[in-house]
Copies of this chain bind each other. A is one copy, B any other.
Amino acid sequence: MVQLLGRSTYHFLQPPVILASAAAGGKMERDGPLGKWFDYIDEDARFGEESWEKAENRMQQLALKTALQKAGLRKTDLNLLFAGDLLNQCTGSSYGLRGFMVPYLGIYGACSTMAEGLLMAAVYTGAGLAKAAGAVTSSHFCTAERQYRFPLEYGCQRPPTAQWTATSAGAVIIGENDGNSAGKVTIVHACAGIIQDGSVRDANNMGAAMAPAAACLLRRYFRESGTGPRDYDRIFTGDLGAVGSELLCQLLERDHIQISDRHEDCGLLLYDRKKQDVHAGGSGCGCSAGVLNGHILPEMRAGRLHDVLFAATGALLSPTMVQQGETIPGIAHLVHLRMEQGGNNGCSSNC
């Protein structure tokens, strides 16, 4: 049912189906170009909670609950959850999702978590080990800033290469393919990435730290799958931002792989950089999750995109390792999404 191509590319012979997705976000995300696609917005990013961390837990709950409702499923219909986030010990996920009582496999891929979760959920549903599985992740500007960099109250200046951690949670429900996937988005391939360390030491330049991992992943994926950039309408990376996106295209051009005519980055789509002060773009696990829910899937469902690569990227740093003078390794994983023939499913809403 699933075929191994090369070293770590999976070809789903009965491609698992994206049954539903949902996202929750804050004011910055509402004010961006994808704001209308968020299922739930909280004005002050507290989500009714007394701490930022508890707000992040609540966001994950809201995203998963909404995705389940859209899919017409109960939590008992889920065989598995794959979830992770940026908080120490991934507590956004474990505390956020403990109430669902679904078998839970915790993952950590930093900002690549949405792609890692989709890959895993596709493997389990594609191999007949789950009828339905969820991939959930989140990030929160306020929890990330105080954990990774400085307390917000300090009012630290940010360099131009810095990115803005999205306050956003996304949940995607993947179901097994029952032979009736026409008009639905499916996962046709997935590829697990290799950690790459480009010797970047600047914790305010995540894009540069992650670009080598994205380049390595795409290079390997094209080779292992026997496809090329022209087989895809769009190649989305996330969240390289302005600096990392340029680097990625340069790195691939060295190997004569040209993606710049169809490449877009989630970090450059979530916010309007002319109006919103996000420097080099958006970042965080919730950035690519929000763009998947608020741009990629709607464009596919509207019939404007058919074959898409979604390659989320993560910087595998901790403040402790950076303080000890270490460089910052990056990782990236991808899924190949396809809008199955049967065309526009007639649904222009965010279903």
Contact = CB atoms under 8 A, between A and B. Distances in A.
A116 interface: yes
A180 interface: no
Contacts of A257: none
B94 A331 contact: yes
A108 B90 contact: yes
A316 interface: yes
A2 B2 CA distance: 12
Interface string A119-133: 110011001111000
A320 B91 contact: yes
A88 B195 contact: no
A9 to B, nearest CB: 9
Contact of A95 (B54, B106, B329): B329
A136 interface: no
A5 to B, nearest CB: 10
Chain A residues touching B, majority SS: mixed
Contact of A316 (B2, B91, B320): B91
Contacts of A120: 105
A162 interface: no
A94 B53 contact: no
A310 interface: no
A211 interface: no
Interface residues of A, number: 60
A51 interface: yes
B53 A321 contact: yes
Contacts of A193: 103-104
Contacts of A51: 324
Interface stretch (A19-27, A79-87, A342-350): A79-87
A197 interface: yes
A323 to B, nearest CB: 10
Given A123-B124, A318-B89, A80 B192 contact: yes
A38 interface: no
30 contacts: A2-B127, A2-B129, A4-B79, A4-B128, A4-B130, A7-B103, A8-B80, A10-B129, A51-B324, A54-B324, A80-B192, A84-B106, A87-B320, A88-B88, A88-B320, A90-B108, A90-B316, A91-B321, A94-B329, A95-B326, A98-B197, A103-B193, A104-B194, A105-B120, A106-B108, A106-B109, A106-B316, A123-B124, A123-B129, A147-B320
